[in-house]
Amino acid sequence: MWSDGDPFVIVDRRLAPGWDVRDDAYERVVVGALARGEIEIPVGDGHGALLGHEADEGPLEVFRLDERELLVLIASYADAPDLDLMAADAAAADARSVSRLAVRSGELVVLRSAVPWSQATVAVERPRPTAPRDWGPVDTEALVVGLASGDYSVGEVRVDRERYGFDAWRLAPRA
């Protein structure tokens, strides 16, 4: 998915239809929550997690670390973006727990926060061994990813290296 700098929201697929933040409420709900340092955000009759990042624009990728663990990553800067290298770096780093997330439907949605679910162009996970080298036209606003039902911890990793920087979030089962 492509980012124009707006944060993303992750939420159980069952709750996704409840994401209906319109232009008039976006500043108050999304921008306000991030300004207050709030990660959890109401969605329908539950909650999701906001993924605020430092990238102006660029691709957001979802990596499957194992059957019950995902890594969501966006590069904030890079000489030559190598998302596979960045994903390995993020997976090796200690993630700071920032939120909890319940997945009951067996699917997780990664959604551009500026787009209501009802208006989103939705894609379903297409696993591949590495990140694409050319994203081509990217018009997807929501990605549905299979994830076993359970309670998850959302951990944040921010990396600032000489040649690249990124924001990443690891979803792992709660212990």
Per-residue pLDDT of the chain (175 residues; tens, 9 = 90+): 777 778 899 999 999 999 998 767 888 888 888 889 888 999 999 999 998 877 767 778 899 998 899 999 988 888 777 888 889 999 999 999 999 999 999 999 999 988 899 999 998 887 655 555 554 446 788 999 999 999 999 999 998 888 888 889 999 999 7
Instruction: Count the domains in the chain.
Output: 1
d(C-alpha 4, C-alpha 70), whole Å: 22
Q: What is the pLDDT of residue 108?
A: 96
Alpha helices (H) along 6-160? 23-26, 32-35, 83-92
Q: What is the pLDDT of residue 116?
A: 92
Tracing tokens 């980012």 back to the chain, one arrives at: 3
Tell me which residue range forms the domain holding 108.
2-173
CB 82 within 8 A of CB 165: no
Q: What is the pLDDT of residue 135?
A: 46
Tracing tokens 């997330």 back to the chain, one arrives at: 101
Give the amino acid at 47: H
Q: Is the dihedral of CA 172, 93, 35, 59 positive or negative?
A: negative
Give the pTM.
0.87
Q: Residue 82, Cα to own-chain centre: how many angstroms?
A: 18
Q: What is the pLDDT of residue 136?
A: 46
Helices H / strands E in the chain, number of each: 3, 12
